[in-house]
Amino acid sequence: MSTSSPNSLDSHPAARSPRGQLRATLAELGIRPRKALGQHFLHDRSIVQRIVASADLSPDSLVVEIGPGLGILTEALARHAGRVIAIELDDKLAAFLAERFRSSNVTVLHGDALRIDFADVTRGAPYVVVANLPYNVATPILERLLTAAHPPTRLVVMVQREVAERMVAIPPDMSFLSVLVQFFARPRIAFRVGPGAFTPPPKVESAVVVLEPREPPLAREEWPRFFRLVQAGFAQRRKQLVNALASELGLDKERVRALLVSAGIEPTRRAETLTLDEWLRLYRAFREELR
Protein backbone atom coordinates (compact mmCIF):
# COMPACT_ATOMS: atom_id res chain seq x y z
CA MET A 1 0.00 0.00 0.00
CA SER A 2 1.28 3.46 -0.84
CA THR A 3 2.00 5.85 1.99
CA SER A 4 1.13 8.88 -0.15
CA SER A 5 -2.15 10.47 0.97
CA PRO A 6 -4.13 7.26 1.56
CA ASN A 7 -7.11 9.21 2.90
CA SER A 8 -8.34 10.27 -0.51
CA LEU A 9 -8.65 8.85 -3.99
CA ASP A 10 -7.39 12.25 -5.13
CA SER A 11 -3.88 11.11 -4.17
CA HIS A 12 -3.42 10.25 -7.86
CA PRO A 13 -3.08 13.59 -9.69
CA ALA A 14 -2.25 11.85 -12.96
CA ALA A 15 -5.70 10.32 -13.02
CA ARG A 16 -7.80 12.73 -15.09
CA SER A 17 -11.19 11.17 -14.53
CA PRO A 18 -12.97 9.41 -11.66
CA ARG A 19 -12.59 6.12 -13.53
CA GLY A 20 -8.88 6.69 -14.16
CA GLN A 21 -8.41 7.75 -10.56
CA LEU A 22 -10.08 4.56 -9.34
CA ARG A 23 -8.01 2.38 -11.66
CA ALA A 24 -4.83 4.06 -10.46
CA THR A 25 -5.74 3.38 -6.83
CA LEU A 26 -6.53 -0.26 -7.56
CA ALA A 27 -3.23 -0.65 -9.41
CA GLU A 28 -1.33 0.93 -6.53
CA LEU A 29 -2.95 -1.49 -4.11
CA GLY A 30 -2.26 -4.45 -6.39
CA ILE A 31 -5.95 -5.25 -6.70
CA ARG A 32 -7.64 -6.63 -9.79
CA PRO A 33 -11.45 -6.71 -9.55
CA ARG A 34 -12.52 -10.29 -8.91
CA LYS A 35 -15.59 -11.75 -10.55
CA ALA A 36 -15.74 -14.33 -7.76
CA LEU A 37 -16.46 -11.49 -5.32
CA GLY A 38 -18.78 -9.62 -7.69
CA GLN A 39 -16.47 -6.59 -7.58
CA HIS A 40 -17.64 -3.65 -9.68
CA PHE A 41 -16.37 -0.39 -8.18
CA LEU A 42 -18.68 2.62 -8.31
CA HIS A 43 -16.91 5.78 -9.50
CA ASP A 44 -19.82 8.09 -10.47
CA ARG A 45 -20.21 10.65 -7.69
CA SER A 46 -23.60 11.82 -8.96
CA ILE A 47 -24.91 8.29 -8.34
CA VAL A 48 -23.33 8.36 -4.87
CA GLN A 49 -25.23 11.57 -4.09
CA ARG A 50 -28.52 10.04 -5.23
CA ILE A 51 -27.95 6.94 -3.09
CA VAL A 52 -27.25 9.03 -0.01
CA ALA A 53 -30.33 11.18 -0.68
CA SER A 54 -32.46 8.01 -0.93
CA ALA A 55 -31.21 6.90 2.49
CA ASP A 56 -32.71 9.99 4.17
CA LEU A 57 -30.02 10.08 6.86
CA SER A 58 -29.78 12.33 9.90
CA PRO A 59 -26.73 13.36 11.97
CA ASP A 60 -27.72 10.66 14.47
CA SER A 61 -28.02 7.83 11.94
CA LEU A 62 -25.99 4.65 12.27
CA VAL A 63 -25.24 3.25 8.82
CA VAL A 64 -23.97 -0.21 7.94
CA GLU A 65 -22.34 -0.35 4.52
CA ILE A 66 -21.60 -3.73 2.93
CA GLY A 67 -18.86 -3.99 0.31
CA PRO A 68 -17.49 -0.42 0.52
CA GLY A 69 -14.72 -1.08 -2.00
CA LEU A 70 -12.48 2.00 -2.13
CA GLY A 71 -14.84 4.06 0.00
CA ILE A 72 -16.43 6.52 -2.44
CA LEU A 73 -19.89 5.89 -0.97
CA THR A 74 -18.46 5.50 2.55
CA GLU A 75 -17.01 9.01 2.40
CA ALA A 76 -20.37 10.52 1.45
CA LEU A 77 -22.23 8.51 4.11
CA ALA A 78 -19.78 9.67 6.77
CA ARG A 79 -20.62 13.31 5.97
CA HIS A 80 -24.36 12.74 6.50
CA ALA A 81 -24.54 10.14 9.29
CA GLY A 82 -23.39 10.01 12.88
CA ARG A 83 -21.45 6.77 12.40
CA VAL A 84 -20.70 4.34 9.57
CA ILE A 85 -19.75 0.68 9.96
CA ALA A 86 -18.17 -0.52 6.70
CA ILE A 87 -17.95 -4.29 6.24
CA GLU A 88 -15.34 -5.38 3.67
CA LEU A 89 -14.41 -8.96 2.81
CA ASP A 90 -11.31 -8.23 0.72
CA ASP A 91 -8.28 -7.99 3.03
CA LYS A 92 -6.38 -5.43 0.94
CA LEU A 93 -9.40 -3.18 0.61
CA ALA A 94 -10.18 -3.50 4.32
CA ALA A 95 -6.63 -2.42 5.18
CA PHE A 96 -6.81 0.49 2.74
CA LEU A 97 -10.15 1.65 4.16
CA ALA A 98 -8.97 1.37 7.75
CA GLU A 99 -6.09 3.70 6.92
CA ARG A 100 -8.16 6.06 4.79
CA PHE A 101 -10.81 6.55 7.48
CA ARG A 102 -8.62 6.16 10.56
CA SER A 103 -9.52 9.62 11.94
CA SER A 104 -13.21 9.70 11.16
CA ASN A 105 -16.62 8.42 12.21
CA VAL A 106 -16.12 5.28 10.10
CA THR A 107 -15.39 1.87 11.62
CA VAL A 108 -14.02 -0.66 9.12
CA LEU A 109 -14.72 -4.34 9.80
CA HIS A 110 -12.82 -6.96 7.84
CA GLY A 111 -15.38 -9.74 7.56
CA ASP A 112 -18.12 -11.53 5.69
CA ALA A 113 -21.59 -9.96 5.72
CA LEU A 114 -23.04 -13.46 5.47
CA ARG A 115 -21.51 -14.34 8.84
CA ILE A 116 -21.37 -11.11 10.83
CA ASP A 117 -23.87 -10.68 13.66
CA PHE A 118 -25.54 -7.35 12.90
CA ALA A 119 -27.03 -7.07 16.39
CA ASP A 120 -23.52 -7.42 17.80
CA VAL A 121 -21.76 -4.92 15.52
CA THR A 122 -24.50 -2.31 15.97
CA ARG A 123 -24.78 -3.05 19.71
CA GLY A 124 -28.53 -3.31 19.29
CA ALA A 125 -28.93 0.27 18.06
CA PRO A 126 -31.26 1.11 15.14
CA TYR A 127 -29.35 1.14 11.87
CA VAL A 128 -29.78 1.76 8.16
CA VAL A 129 -28.11 -0.41 5.52
CA VAL A 130 -26.74 1.45 2.49
CA ALA A 131 -24.74 -0.63 0.06
CA ASN A 132 -23.64 -1.36 -3.45
CA LEU A 133 -24.08 -5.09 -2.92
CA PRO A 134 -21.74 -7.55 -4.65
CA TYR A 135 -23.82 -9.07 -7.44
CA ASN A 136 -23.02 -12.68 -6.60
CA VAL A 137 -24.23 -12.54 -2.99
CA ALA A 138 -26.86 -9.78 -3.07
CA THR A 139 -29.83 -12.10 -2.59
CA PRO A 140 -28.46 -14.12 0.38
CA ILE A 141 -27.28 -10.91 2.07
CA LEU A 142 -30.74 -9.37 1.67
CA GLU A 143 -32.38 -12.52 3.02
CA ARG A 144 -30.05 -12.50 6.03
CA LEU A 145 -30.75 -8.84 6.77
CA LEU A 146 -34.51 -9.11 6.40
CA THR A 147 -34.79 -12.21 8.59
CA ALA A 148 -32.29 -11.02 11.22
CA ALA A 149 -33.33 -10.85 14.85
CA HIS A 150 -32.19 -7.21 14.71
CA PRO A 151 -33.09 -6.04 11.18
CA PRO A 152 -32.29 -2.59 9.77
CA THR A 153 -34.89 0.19 9.87
CA ARG A 154 -34.32 0.86 6.17
CA LEU A 155 -32.27 -0.59 3.34
CA VAL A 156 -30.98 1.30 0.31
CA VAL A 157 -29.16 -1.19 -1.89
CA MET A 158 -27.82 -1.30 -5.41
CA VAL A 159 -28.35 -4.62 -7.16
CA GLN A 160 -28.68 -5.94 -10.69
CA ARG A 161 -31.69 -4.40 -12.41
CA GLU A 162 -33.20 -7.86 -12.94
CA VAL A 163 -32.96 -8.59 -9.21
CA ALA A 164 -34.50 -5.21 -8.38
CA GLU A 165 -37.42 -5.86 -10.70
CA ARG A 166 -38.02 -9.27 -9.13
CA MET A 167 -38.09 -7.66 -5.69
CA VAL A 168 -40.89 -5.25 -6.63
CA ALA A 169 -42.76 -7.59 -9.00
CA ILE A 170 -46.52 -8.14 -8.97
CA PRO A 171 -48.50 -11.05 -10.47
CA PRO A 172 -48.07 -12.60 -12.98
CA ASP A 173 -44.33 -12.01 -12.57
CA MET A 174 -43.79 -13.02 -8.94
CA SER A 175 -40.83 -15.12 -7.84
CA PHE A 176 -39.60 -16.56 -4.57
CA LEU A 177 -37.54 -13.38 -4.08
CA SER A 178 -40.65 -11.22 -4.64
CA VAL A 179 -42.54 -13.06 -1.91
CA LEU A 180 -39.56 -13.05 0.46
CA VAL A 181 -38.89 -9.32 0.15
CA GLN A 182 -42.54 -8.26 0.24
CA PHE A 183 -43.16 -10.46 3.30
CA PHE A 184 -40.67 -8.34 5.27
CA ALA A 185 -40.64 -4.95 3.52
CA ARG A 186 -42.22 -2.50 1.10
CA PRO A 187 -39.74 -2.24 -1.77
CA ARG A 188 -39.53 0.40 -4.49
CA ILE A 189 -37.00 1.10 -7.22
CA ALA A 190 -35.52 4.56 -6.62
CA PHE A 191 -33.56 4.80 -9.89
CA ARG A 192 -31.60 2.80 -12.43
CA VAL A 193 -27.84 2.89 -12.98
CA GLY A 194 -26.02 2.18 -16.24
CA PRO A 195 -22.86 0.05 -16.53
CA GLY A 196 -20.72 3.13 -17.16
CA ALA A 197 -20.94 4.16 -13.51
CA PHE A 198 -18.67 1.25 -12.53
CA THR A 199 -15.13 0.01 -13.02
CA PRO A 200 -15.05 -2.53 -14.53
CA PRO A 201 -18.45 -1.94 -16.15
CA PRO A 202 -20.80 -4.90 -15.58
CA LYS A 203 -22.61 -6.48 -18.50
CA VAL A 204 -25.99 -5.63 -16.99
CA GLU A 205 -27.80 -2.56 -15.71
CA SER A 206 -28.18 -1.93 -12.00
CA ALA A 207 -30.88 -0.32 -9.87
CA VAL A 208 -31.08 1.22 -6.43
CA VAL A 209 -33.89 -0.22 -4.33
CA VAL A 210 -35.31 1.26 -1.13
CA LEU A 211 -36.82 -1.25 1.29
CA GLU A 212 -38.94 -0.05 4.19
CA PRO A 213 -39.23 -2.99 6.62
CA ARG A 214 -42.68 -3.79 7.96
CA GLU A 215 -44.07 -6.09 10.63
CA PRO A 216 -44.08 -9.59 9.07
CA PRO A 217 -47.58 -11.05 8.69
CA LEU A 218 -46.64 -14.26 10.53
CA ALA A 219 -44.87 -15.02 13.79
CA ARG A 220 -41.17 -15.91 13.49
CA GLU A 221 -41.74 -19.57 14.39
CA GLU A 222 -43.95 -19.92 11.33
CA TRP A 223 -41.50 -18.47 8.82
CA PRO A 224 -39.72 -21.75 7.97
CA ARG A 225 -42.98 -23.52 7.16
CA PHE A 226 -44.34 -20.60 5.15
CA PHE A 227 -41.22 -20.32 3.01
CA ARG A 228 -41.03 -24.08 2.60
CA LEU A 229 -44.48 -23.86 0.99
CA VAL A 230 -43.45 -20.93 -1.22
CA GLN A 231 -40.27 -22.69 -2.31
CA ALA A 232 -42.29 -25.77 -3.18
CA GLY A 233 -44.59 -23.69 -5.35
CA PHE A 234 -41.73 -22.10 -7.28
CA ALA A 235 -39.54 -25.22 -7.50
CA GLN A 236 -41.27 -26.31 -10.71
CA ARG A 237 -42.45 -23.04 -12.20
CA ARG A 238 -43.95 -24.52 -15.35
CA LYS A 239 -46.22 -26.81 -13.40
CA GLN A 240 -49.65 -25.97 -12.07
CA LEU A 241 -49.70 -25.42 -8.32
CA VAL A 242 -51.58 -28.63 -7.66
CA ASN A 243 -48.84 -30.65 -9.35
CA ALA A 244 -45.88 -28.65 -8.04
CA LEU A 245 -47.02 -28.71 -4.40
CA ALA A 246 -47.98 -32.38 -4.47
CA SER A 247 -44.58 -33.30 -5.93
CA GLU A 248 -42.40 -31.06 -3.75
CA LEU A 249 -44.26 -31.62 -0.48
CA GLY A 250 -44.85 -35.34 -0.99
CA LEU A 251 -48.62 -34.97 -0.57
CA ASP A 252 -51.52 -36.71 -2.28
CA LYS A 253 -52.57 -34.71 -5.32
CA GLU A 254 -56.27 -34.79 -4.45
CA ARG A 255 -55.50 -33.61 -0.93
CA VAL A 256 -53.52 -30.71 -2.37
CA ARG A 257 -56.34 -29.88 -4.77
CA ALA A 258 -58.83 -29.78 -1.88
CA LEU A 259 -56.57 -27.51 0.19
CA LEU A 260 -56.08 -25.13 -2.73
CA VAL A 261 -59.82 -24.89 -3.25
CA SER A 262 -60.37 -24.32 0.49
CA ALA A 263 -57.97 -21.37 0.28
CA GLY A 264 -59.82 -19.95 -2.69
CA ILE A 265 -56.95 -20.69 -5.08
CA GLU A 266 -57.66 -22.33 -8.44
CA PRO A 267 -55.51 -25.52 -8.58
CA THR A 268 -54.47 -24.85 -12.18
CA ARG A 269 -52.77 -21.54 -11.35
CA ARG A 270 -49.00 -21.20 -11.30
CA ALA A 271 -46.86 -19.83 -8.47
CA GLU A 272 -45.91 -16.57 -10.22
CA THR A 273 -49.58 -15.51 -10.39
CA LEU A 274 -50.16 -15.49 -6.62
CA THR A 275 -50.03 -12.35 -4.50
CA LEU A 276 -48.43 -12.35 -1.06
CA ASP A 277 -51.92 -12.33 0.50
CA GLU A 278 -52.84 -15.43 -1.52
CA TRP A 279 -49.66 -17.20 -0.36
CA LEU A 280 -50.64 -16.40 3.23
CA ARG A 281 -54.12 -17.84 2.65
CA LEU A 282 -52.55 -20.90 1.12
CA TYR A 283 -50.20 -21.31 4.07
CA ARG A 284 -53.06 -21.21 6.54
CA ALA A 285 -54.80 -23.97 4.57
CA PHE A 286 -51.61 -26.07 4.42
CA ARG A 287 -50.31 -25.30 7.91
CA GLU A 288 -51.08 -28.74 9.42
CA GLU A 289 -49.60 -30.54 6.40
CA LEU A 290 -46.28 -28.72 6.84
CA ARG A 291 -45.53 -29.86 10.39
Ordered by start, the domain boundaries in the chain are 9-213, 220-290
What pLDDT sits at residue 4? 34
Give 10-residue mean pLDDT values along the chain (291 residues): 40 58 82 68 94 97 95 96 96 94 95 95 97 91 95 97 97 97 98 93 94 97 97 93 96 97 97 97 95 79
What pLDDT sits at residue 20? 79
**Fold for the domain defined by 9-213:** Rossmann fold (3.40.50)
How buried is residue 31: exposed, middle or buried, by Cβ count under 10 Å (0-12/13-18/19+)? middle
Q: Taking the complete model, does pTM exceed 0.85, yes or no? A: yes
Q: How far is CA 231 from CA 23, 146, 171, 245, in A?
A: 42, 17, 16, 9
What is the tens place of the pLDDT at every residue in 24-74?
Answer: 888 888 777 666 556 788 999 999 999 999 999 999 999 999 999 999 999
**Fold for the domain defined by 220-290:** Helicase, Ruva Protein; domain 3 (1.10.8)
What is the C-alpha end-to-end distance of the chain, expressed in Å? Answer: 55
**What is the tally of helices (H) and strands (E) in the chain?**
12, 9
